[in-house]
Amino acid sequence: MGTCQGRLPQTTKPLCHEVREKLRSPVIIFVIGGPGCGKGPCCARLATKYNFYHVAVGELLREEVKKATGNSKAIKDIVLRGALVPAGYVLNLLMDNMLKTENVKGFFIDGFPREISQARLFEEVVGRLPNIVIVFDCSTETMIQRLLLRSHTGTRADDHDRIIRQRLETHYTLSEPVFTYYLQRDLLRNVLGEEPSEIIFAKCCSVVDDVLKGQSVQA
């Protein structure tokens, strides 16, 4: 349960030395947490404040679903089961999006990695770790309430009770190894996702400021 391979391509595009070098300098911050934890809106605000590029992996996948391609139905089927798209396919989408930009100071990667294979594959393909990983801690009850409230807008096909609960089960099953992976590397920073949005934003800014200070010292 959780990861689903479907019929999607499993391979990941290799990155040449020049591309790896392009991704070596920018600050890369992963922001992860369960569905409905509030990471998306916060990332958008952070990207504006710091003039970073916001990449929402979930949004990239939803855009793929809208395309009339051989992969769109497979992705839609996976999403509606509350499962995960194969790591290689997700990383290809992420890399394509990141490499569209020029002279970017940093990236907020929203909703990645969601499983340990994504974390390891990123490091293997890109040749580096993120600068920091922010985790939004939020209770199951709060996330369910938020997602059901959002479902009334009708903007997300996966915001329905059965799918929500499967998405949360997938998250809890697969996220713990990710947390451990980055905790062991002293990269994990926890933010309580149930506090008022301004407090959450301020705490995230404090984490980012510490990263930028470290970059300045190294420079």
Q: Closest Cα partner for 136 from 187, 177, 189? A: 189
List pLDDT tens digits, range 71-93: 888 888 887 777 788 899 999 99
Domain ranges of the chain: 26-213
88 within 8 A of 146, measured Cβ to Cβ: no
Question: pLDDT tens-digit profile of 11-68?
Answer: 576 788 888 888 999 999 999 998 889 999 999 999 999 999 999 999 999 899 888 7
* pLDDT tops 90 at residue 103: no
Helical (H) or strand (E) element with 205: helix 197-218
Phi, psi of 174 (to 5 degrees): -100, -15
pLDDT confidence tier of residue 5, bands split at 50, 70 and 90: very low
Residue type, 140: T
Arithmetic mean of pLDDT, 126-135: 96
Three-state DSSP string of 58-124: HHHHHHHHHCCCCCHHHHHHHHHCCCECCHHHHHHHHHHHHCCCCCCCEEEEECCCCCHHHHHHHHH
- Single-letter code of the amino acid located at 55: V
First-to-last alpha carbon distance for the chain, in angstroms, is 45
Domain 26-213, CATH: 3.40.50.300
Nearest alpha-carbon partner for 1 in 161, 181, 174: 174
- Is the bond preceding 41 in cis, omega lying within 30 degrees of 0? no
Helix (H, G, I), strand (E, B) or coil at 53: strand
| pTM (two decimals) | 0.87
Q: C-alpha distances in angstroms, 17 versus 28, 87, 122?
A: 18, 22, 15
Question: Considering only 78-92, 104-118, 197-211, which range has the smallest mean pLDDT?
Answer: 78-92
